[in-house]
Amino acid sequence: MSELPLIAVTDSATCPRPLAEQIERLAKLTELRPQAVILRAKALDKAAYRTLALQAQQSCEAACIPLILHSDWQLASELGIQNLHLPLALLRQLPTYERAHFTWLSTSVHSVDEAIEAQALGATVLIAGHIYTTQCKAGLAPRGLGFLQAVCSTVSLPVYAIGGIGFDTAQHAELQANGSRGACVMSAYMRL
């Protein structure tokens, strides 16, 4: 089994069952257990996302797995969730005084300049991608390991790789060798 910490990222498009049910399944894993779950559900409106977040919070808390909300910092504050992932455009808009409420504040970066900016904006973790070819970015060339290494060597924050990552220990070793502190896995976790 991999020594690289893995974060499950939810995606209703690749999940064969409702996300709440899938999160419950992930929470019960012993092998391949995720370090955390990023609750990404772009197709849901605010009310449906709130309902899903409450269900996910219950499942994750019962399993002692941190839940990371995606995009909705007000909901995270309301539910007492201190882990948040914001796209860089939303991180730029997050009021400075709100950033202190989150112990985990990650953002996605797609260039070294974005990584530098995200660090200056108060992110605590960067998610860099996409590293490998992935169905989610069909037709778009991956940024590759050189990009990952450049980001990791430029910032002092932990960097998690994303994009085309599964449960392959050789792949995980390659990511670690290029500076990654962990990896985000979407499709492989959604299909478990």
- pLDDT digits 0-9 by tens, 83-130: 999 999 999 999 999 998 999 999 999 999 999 999 999 999 999 999
The pLDDT of residue 136: 76
- pLDDT digits 0-9 by tens, 53-72: 999 999 999 999 999 999 99
> Whole-prediction pTM value?
0.96
Say whether 176 sits in a helix, a strand or coil. Answer: helix
Average pLDDT, the chain: 95
Q: Report how far residue 69's alpha carbon sits from residue 37's, in angstroms, rounded to the nearest whole number.
A: 8
**HSE of 5 in the Cβ direction (CA atoms, 13 Å)?**
14
| Percent of the chain residues topping a pLDDT of 90 | 92
Q: Which residue has the tokens 């490998």?
A: 132
Element (H, E) at 55: helix 46-62
Q: Report how far residue 143's alpha carbon sits from residue 74's, in angstroms, rounded to the nearest whole number.
A: 32
Residue 105 DSSP class:
E
Count of CB atoms within 10 A of residue 3's CB?
8
Answer yes or no: is pLDDT of 2 > 80.
no
The pLDDT of residue 1: 47
Count of CB atoms within 10 A of residue 80's CB?
8
